[in-house]
Structure 1
Amino acid sequence: MSDWIREQLHPHYAQSLKIDELLYDSETDHQRLKVFQNGTFGRVLTLDDVVQTTEGDNFIYHEMLTHVPILAHGAAKRVLIIGGGDGGMAREALRHQSVEHVTMVEIDAGVVDFSKEYLPMLSDGAFDDPRLNLVINDGAAFMRETDQKFDVIIVDSTDPIGPGEVLFTDTFYGHAKRALNEGGILTTQNGVPFMQGDELTNTLRAFKALFADWGCYMATIPTYAGGPMAFGWGTDGAARSVTLEDLELRFAQANLTTDYYTPEVHKAAFALPAYVKRLLP
């Protein structure tokens, strides 16, 4: 008989996923990790019983947090990923042959180790790519101390609870901006605005003070329940105004095969519903 896992990230709303087979259950110094098999989503990773990624729908999240800034930039060679221990974000960033170097900073080595064993389809060889530099460190500390520069910085964090909380502060975002090359782009995951409006507002208040062009774009990921997810966007360049024709050319030159991202989706993702616009500071 199968069990169910109940995720109650929000105070008045929960979702449940059926556990067809529990594959991994272990507590690290930072959080409790589980991997289980689900009939719809394949393998599912949870941290403290909150869904982080799934074999079935991870492509939406990972494609939109990588391809949007990289293709909007047009000449990104150095990418920094904060978080992303499952390797999915590195997988998508490294699919761009024009990207010469990816630094990935993950606080929990346990997430990387078990993802290699239990979720290898998410990284799909990314951890073996010589362009990847994996750093086991606190993302906030790395950002504060680094003297490196990047064209794109992607914050693939958990929600602002526990270890992920420091990645949602004005100070962290200020350090991130300092680490951007001229024309560089910062993107962040900012939860589901219908359920987590304050999270988006607080991030964009910091972005408004830091960047000439700030805002967010959106995509719908089934297991991030409660509506479409928002991704923070900050840059001092003109990358957001890239034309559809230029995006189509860059996409063709990158020779990417995607399951969600298209140049048309890229442009449309910045069109915000009224309730989300009202969350902008």
Structure 2
Amino acid sequence: MTDMPPFAWSVEALHADHRQALRIETMIYDSETAHQRLQVFENPRFGRIMTLDGVVQVTEGDEFIYHEMMAHVPIFAHGAARRVLIIGGGDGGMAREALRHTEVEKVTMVEIDAGVVEFSKKYLANISAGAFEDPRLELVIADGAAFVAETTDVFDVIIVDSTDPIGPGEVLFTDTFYGRAKRCLSEGGILVTQNGVPFMQGEELTHTMRAFRTLFRDATCYLATIPTYAGGPMAMGWGSDGTSRAASIEELDERFRAAGFETRYYSPEVHHAAFALPGYVRKLLS
């Protein structure tokens, strides 16, 4: 653990015309290999932050928004999800939120790198919050694309908690992967995907929606605003052959009350409103 000089900053340069800077109060971990640089540092506003090559992956301060919206929107919309598949999610935050649903009988989490899980347990334990010890969680160390191609299991909800489509995460944004993931869905099942910030990464969303429209009767996205994913609201892709997106606020509220836990961002009203898309996002979908 290293105290940093005054005004040391981590500068994210993911986008060609935009920069984001986060102050480093204390460097917790800093390792650079021939392929990438992984850092964990303390920030006064966001707590512990993990970056990969300077790009924010997760922060203790705002991770709840991403994880709640990726997990609770499909699970509450489905209304009877028993088996959930998470592709990626090595920090354990997505599993944490999915496992809050007591009616979920099993969560299968497929993470390509066991080291990510162990690293997160050590340096970001507040994010998983004990999820890795839940007996309903099955942790599979494998390539997510290979898993959906080979498994015979079916799932009510599949959550693709991937990095951006660069390097190892790129395969999780292909038409082939989406088609194989659909094969693993139960009748009326839901696939949700991380699709970046559409104002900055519009082509990513357009590509995914092009694939979803050929695969699913109901293909769209919904939005959530996550402060450290800069450039506007983040898009989560939604694909299903069922009618679960038509659940009313009243139905969602009944399910939410029955679940018996509190959330910091998600609510039935936010769930419903998240599918109301501004014009520039609707244009990217079409």
- Cα distance in structure 1, aligned partners of 2:17 and 2:38: 24
Instruction: Return the match for 1:8 from 3, 13, 16.
Output: 13
TM-score (norm 1): 0.98
Counting matched residue pairs gives 281
Counterpart residue type for residue 120 of structure 2? S
- Residue 191 of structure 1 corresponds to which residue in structure 2? 196
- Residue 47 of structure 2 corresponds to which residue in structure 1? 42
- Cα distance in structure 1, aligned partners of 2:94 and 2:276: 24
Higher mean C-alpha displacement, 155-164 vs 17-26: 17-26
Residue correspondence of structure 1 range 90-105 to structure 2 within 5 A? 90-105=95-110
Is 1:170–2:170 an aligned residue pair?
no
Alignment partner of 2:250: what SS?
A: helix
* Matched-pair contact (CA < 8 Å) for 1:72–1:240: yes
Alignment partner of 1:160: what SS?
A: coil
Alignment partner of 1:76: what SS?
A: coil
Higher mean C-alpha displacement, 19-28 vs 120-129: 19-28
Report deviation, 1:245. Answer: 0.6
Residue correspondence of structure 1 range 53-92 to structure 2 within 5 A? 53-92=58-97
Change (3 A) 1:7 1:107: same
Counterpart residue type for residue 7 of structure 1? E
* Matched-pair contact (CA < 8 Å) for 1:219–1:229: yes
- Residue 148 of structure 1 corresponds to which residue in structure 2? 153
1:200-252 C-alpha deviation (Å, 9 max, x unpaired): 00000000000000100000000000000000000000000001111000000
1:111-157 C-alpha deviation (Å, 9 max, x unpaired): 11111011111000000000001111111111111111000000000
- Residue 214 of structure 2 corresponds to which residue in structure 1? 209
- Residue 24 of structure 1 corresponds to which residue in structure 2? 29
- Percent identical among aligned pairs is 70
* Matched-pair contact (CA < 8 Å) for 1:30–1:163: no
- Cα distance in structure 2, aligned partners of 1:152 and 1:48: 31
1:41-94 C-alpha deviation (Å, 9 max, x unpaired): 000011221101100000000000000000000000000000000000000000
Report deviation, 1:26. Answer: 2.5
Higher mean C-alpha displacement, 178-187 vs 131-140: 131-140
Is 1:181–2:186 an aligned residue pair?
yes
Alignment partner of 1:37: what SS?
A: strand
Alignment partner of 2:170: what SS?
A: helix
- Cα distance in structure 2, aligned partners of 1:222 and 1:144: 35
Report deviation, 1:31. Answer: 4.2
- Cα distance in structure 2, aligned partners of 1:105 and 1:176: 13
Counterpart residue type for residue 171 of structure 1? T
Alignment partner of 1:72: what SS?
A: helix
* Matched-pair contact (CA < 8 Å) for 1:28–1:110: no
Change (3 A) 1:270 1:180: same
TM-score (norm 2): 0.96
Structure 1 alignment gaps of length 5 or more: none
Counterpart residue type for residue 4 of structure 1? W
Report deviation, 1:29. Answer: 8.8
- Residue 272 of structure 1 corresponds to which residue in structure 2? 277
- Cα distance in structure 1, aligned partners of 2:154 and 2:35: 29
Alignment partner of 1:174: what SS?
A: helix
- Cα distance in structure 1, aligned partners of 2:126 and 2:205: 30
Structure 2 alignment gaps of length 5 or more: none
- Residue 110 of structure 1 corresponds to which residue in structure 2? 115
- Cα distance in structure 2, aligned partners of 1:135 and 1:31: 24
